[in-house]
Structure 1
Amino acid sequence: KSGERKHDSDSPAKYQDVFGHTLLELARANDKIVGITAAMPSGTSMSIMQEQLPSRVFDVGISEGHAVTFAGGLAKDGMRPFCAIYSSFLQRAYDHIIHDVAIQNLPVTFCIDRAGIVGEDGVTHHGVFDLSYLRAIPNLTIASPRDEASLRNLLYTAQSADRGPFAIRYPRGKGSNPDWRTPMHEIAIGRGQRLVDGNDVAVLSIGPMANKAAAAIERARRENGIEAAHYDMIFLKPIDEQLLDEVGRKGCPVITVEDGVRDGGLGSAVTEWMNDHGYHPHITRIGVPDMFVPHGKVPQLMNLCRMDEDAIYNAIVQANNNHKL
């Protein structure tokens, strides 16, 4: 009757809001941090910092290329710009990323919102290409958090790391933890994490797809007795070569899981590394196939692209069975 929107305080926050509140925390502690957005202050939650520190947030309008070049100019003069742009919109600034940031190795942090399949916004808004189109660029660090705490730690690392451009991609929608205001700490660049050990199959995931992979791995263990290892790679570039060497020495089938096109992303990176280092496991790549993903709800589209929990579970069982033949 009042028209007031009710919020569930026990519900996990949206990734964009975790980003917005975390950036404000960091900016209050580091006066070199500035925020940049291209006409999407509320859509990226850059508005949270804009409301509290308006002189340090710049909305450049619908001009993603200018946003990136402007960020490069600020970084050149000693600032730490955080440039928040939707994944599909960042495609418009590809030349600017290369020429105005990466060549100069400038410390610009790209906060890539709406990464992966986004659902009802349709084919033009799915952020499925960024892992592939960014991986080819020298000097660029590329990471994706599996949960809210990982996102906070990556943002903290980006503003404190003594290195060049840093891309952090995260999805549309809610995370998994209502208690997301965790203490932040710097994490090692290019280092992933073994979440579960096992010798039958090795599952390598990046980003929140780790949650679907974890559920599928537990199901395969419970229903089929398959001991699958699970690695959260965290960084696509530089990729964790120690973890890849550990996986290669196991000699078991490998399954890569990513919320992006499988051509050129994590699956391609793992396949290339294994080939270059003399390992030849059977590798199954789970990701968006070579198609434009249509409009639909995220669970429907995950099923369509064979990226849901069932698809990962079936891939684990099939890889294990084929390996045992």
Structure 2
Amino acid sequence: MTRAVLTRVIRSLTAILIVITLVFFVTRLTGDPVRAFVPENAPPEIADHYRHLFGLDAPLWQQYLLYLRGLAHGDFGTSYFDADGALHIVVRSIPATLQIAIPAFLVSTAVGLAVGILAAAHSSGHLGRIISSTAIGFAALPNFVIGIILILVLGVKLQWFPTTGNTTAASIVMPTLTMALPPAAILARVTQTSMIEALALPCVAHARAVHVSRRRQILAHALPNAARPILTIVGFDFAYLVAGSSIVEVLFGWPGIGALLVRASQQNDYAVVQCVVVLVTVSVVIVHALTDLSYRLVDPRLRSS
């Protein structure tokens, strides 16, 4: 177990370093941030002054090493536009993202599991086929399409919920549903497939032969054997909901890290873009590492090996 943890930690740190390197050099290809706030007719000396002030006139390799040294000390740089630390700016936006990401994760997990188990229990009937077809449809829809439909129906037509901002408690409903429905549909399909395979195992057949209740056959015998692929999708769902909130936040005017990333990208605000990407990458890597290690808790064969 210790060796597995150490191996996972080394792989995670390597992945984080690769992402840090890629995002550093890719952001430098997007344009000159000085041109975003210095007028075009300004003397070149003014632009040169700001490049020197921000350290943008140094060679790229030197900027990269200085950036890594800053990261080692918890310094993510300073925003070119807000004159504030990039980490401080990003941290201010995290609670807004979690306000919709956590409820969306809980909704998608609960609905996906319940619908998937129900579809597997009625896989040979019309209900199972209807659920399967509906789940495929929702999984294929981009979340911005779902968001636009919800805005038109629930926000404009019925006027049940506000269409933008986070001013009231009701504002959370449509962004949460927009983020939750696609991963819930994917989880339902994976759960259905895994549960159908698990229900055909000898242990479930034995439980059925000794007249164990149908609910106990599903929850106590089939579900644990179907847990590994389900855990994988649940881990990916949480990472997706945290990292993939940009479109939803822009669509609903939600002031989270996704909307912040879009705005910073438009301004070529290197420090903020890099900070958002690095923090999201770290959170995604941690979730995937915990998901990988959780397999050993649900599968005794992995613990013994």
TM range (shorter): under 0.3
Higher helix share: 2
Which one scores higher on RCO, CA 8 angstroms, separation ≥ 6? 2
What is the TM-score of this pair, normalised by structure 1?
0.20
What is the TM-score of this pair, normalised by structure 2?
0.21
Higher strand share: 1
Task: Point out the structure with max Rg over C-alpha.
Answer: 2
